[in-house]
């Protein structure tokens, strides 16, 4: 989906549908299969399996303590899949454009810039994690808490250092808050179809499934 | 002992890198412009990246080490002491070699990139590997450190050493020369004979060749000897 505005709206609608009921989540999952690259969106993100695994663990705990772990798992997993889709489908500058379009050139620019820098930081962190794995492999160090802890500390430290350097750089370039951006959005035919289709899972989530079939009859 | 690239091809961004050839024991210099695919080939040689087609054969090679271009990419320790220990080395001699004595407890990020590179190279070159791959070993170093590093690399006598670099001022004595030309890795031959066919040779070497002077090798001492040579 090329239009960032439609993508955001669609993801919000589908997330609400998924959160509201299992039926809504299953319908949103079908939408995810039809309109996104599917499993490739997860493969692109090294964090995806971690978060999905974490959600599965929480669900197991809920289930073991007598709660509805299955419902939690289905709903949260679909919300995560939608989040990973939104993350992988974005283009650099999308959030800045979107934020300026929504909130204007002062606060909108600041929010958009912060979002863009955060996403860039996540990419850097992901790249550093990959490099660290290579370093572990080259040094024949076994992965474990004792070996990972210093590396994780180094990565966090480097992120702080990077943030400080970026802040200095912005200040040197004269940034004091707000800025000029002319948001541009491109839209293809499929964007509207995908966005419109996202309403169906919301209907499934709001109305009991049985009522939908009565209406259809 | 040998490393063989069997018709490897790998697509990177918008262009194709290909290479074939055998790396025998000795020091191999693989030269190429910035962005020509040196790092990709180094990763493939180290077994950290799989080519899209073709394969890499290793005969009689046990230990393999890749020195990545940016020294911070190798960091796994939170102090210089623990970083050196992660290379299975004693801190004191390595720190002395890197010109950082008494800084065992320092944070690696308190060092400049040049200092970190010195430390990293001191760790790498303090050990012996059957296959040592150095990706831009001279980056972030000043002239004096480049010369010292070139001397240390040139003194490696065992195993296969591959140097991937665009450096053209301070180089070690090498046995074989390779060049990446239009995305293809080409073997130019043994040094000094291969120097003549080196397309993107260092300017000092090109100037000497114009004068009909051919150095015996690529180290600063060899270049100086050739430049000061009064007759062949």
Which tens digit of pLDDT belongs to each residue from B17-54?
999 999 999 999 999 998 889 999 999 999 999 999 99
Query: CB count, 10 Å around CB of B155?
Result: 11
- Rounded CA separation A115/A101 (Å): 14
A210 pLDDT higher than 90: no
Can you name the residues that pair with B160 across neighbouring β-strands? B26, B131
A116 pLDDT higher than 80: yes
- What does the pLDDT read at residue A45? 64
Q: Tell me: domain B2-63+128-227, CATH 2.40.50.140, correct?
A: no
Peptide bond into B7 cis (omega under 30): no
User: Do residue A153 and residue B109 have CB atoms under 8 angstroms apart?
Assistant: no
Residues A24, A26, A32, A33: what is their CA dihedral angle, to the nearest 10 degrees?
-150
- The residue ranges of every structural domain in chain B are 2-63+128-227
Most A CBs within 10 Å, among B46, B47, B50, B76, to test the A interface: B76
Q: Is A138 on the interface with B (CB under 8 A)?
A: yes
What separation in angstroms does the CA of A178 have from each of A92, A103, A111, A112? 19, 11, 9, 10
Q: Is A154 on the interface with B (CB under 8 A)?
A: yes
- What does the pLDDT read at residue A211? 66
Longest CA–CA span in chain A (Å) reads: 67
Q: With contact defined as beta carbons under 8 Å apart, do A112 and A181 qualify?
A: yes
Q: Which residues lie below 8 Å from residue B172, measured CB to CB, with a gap of 6+?
A: B27, B29, B149, B150, B151, B152, B153, B154, B163, B218, B219
Residue B125's SS3 state is helix
Question: What's the whole-number mean pLDDT along residues B2-15?
Answer: 88
- Nearest Cα neighbor of B30 from B147, B176, B209 is B176
- What does the pLDDT read at residue A213? 63
Q: With contact defined as beta carbons under 8 Å apart, do A53 and A9 qualify?
A: no
CA A45 to chain centroid: 10
Q: At B88, is the pLDDT very low, low, confident or very high (cuts 50, 70, 90)?
A: very high
| Residue A148 in tokens | 């990972």
- Rounded CA separation B116/B122 (Å): 10
CA atoms within 13 A on the CB side of B110: 9
Q: Is A135 on the interface with B (CB under 8 A)?
A: yes
Residues of A in contact with B48 (CB under 8 A): 134, 137
User: Do residue A135 and residue B66 have CB atoms under 8 angstroms apart?
Assistant: no
């Amino acid at each position: 989906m090329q239009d960032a505005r439609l993508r955001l709206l669609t993801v919000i609608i589908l997330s609400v549908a998924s959160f509201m009921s299992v039926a809504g989540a299953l319908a949103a999952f079908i939408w995810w299969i039809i309109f996104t690259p599917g499993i490739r969106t997860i493969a692109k993100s090294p964090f995806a399996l971690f978060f999905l695994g974490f959600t599965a663990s929480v669900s197991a705990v809920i289930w073991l303590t007598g709660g509805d772990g299955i419902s939690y798992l289905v709903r949260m997993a679909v919300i995560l899949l939608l989040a990973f889709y939104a993350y992988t489908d974005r283009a650099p500058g999308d959030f800045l454009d979107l934020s300026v379009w929504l909130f204007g050139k002062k606060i909108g620019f600041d929010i958009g810039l912060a979002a863009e820098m955060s996403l860039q930081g996540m990419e850097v962190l992901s790249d550093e994690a990959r490099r660290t794995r290579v370093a572990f492999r080259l040094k024949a160090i076994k992965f474990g808490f004792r070996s990972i802890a210093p590396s994780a500390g180094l990565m966090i430290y480097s992120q702080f250092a990077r943030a400080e350097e970026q802040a200095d750089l912005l200040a040197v370039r004269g940034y004091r808050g707000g800025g000029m951006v002319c948001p541009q959005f491109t839209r293809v035919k499929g964007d509207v179809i995908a966005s419109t289709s996202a309403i169906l899972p919301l209907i499934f989530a709001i109305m009991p499934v049985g009522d939908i079939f009565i209406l259809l009859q | 002992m040998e490393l063989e690239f069997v018709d490897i091809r790998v697509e990177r961004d918008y262009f194709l890198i290909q290479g074939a050839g055998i790396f025998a024991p000795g020091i191999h210099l693989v030269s190429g412009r910035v962005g020509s695919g040196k790092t990709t080939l180094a990763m493939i040689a180290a077994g950290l990246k799989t080519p899209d087609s073709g394969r890499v054969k290793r005969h009689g090679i046990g230990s393999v080490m890749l020195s990545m271009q940016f020294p911070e990419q190798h960091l796994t320790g939170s102090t210089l002491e623990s970083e050196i220990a992660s290379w299975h080395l004693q801190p004191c001699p390595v720190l002395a070699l890197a010109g950082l004595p008494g800084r065992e407890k320092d944070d690696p990020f308190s060092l400049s990139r040049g200092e970190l590179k010195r430390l990293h190279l001191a760790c790498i070159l303090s050990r012996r590997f059957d296959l040592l791959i150095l990706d831009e070993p001279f980056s972030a170093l000043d002239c004096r450190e480049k010369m010292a590093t070139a001397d240390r690399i040139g003194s490696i006598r065992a195993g296969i050493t591959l140097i991937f670099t665009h450096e053209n001022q301070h180089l070690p004595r090498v046995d074989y020369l390779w060049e990446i030309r239009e995305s293809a890795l080409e073997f130019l031959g043994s040094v000094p004979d291969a120097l003549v066919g080196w397309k993107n040779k260092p300017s000092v070497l090109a100037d000497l060749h114009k004068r009909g002077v051919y150095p015996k090798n690529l180290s600063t001492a060899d270049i100086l000897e050739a430049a000061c040579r009064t007759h062949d």
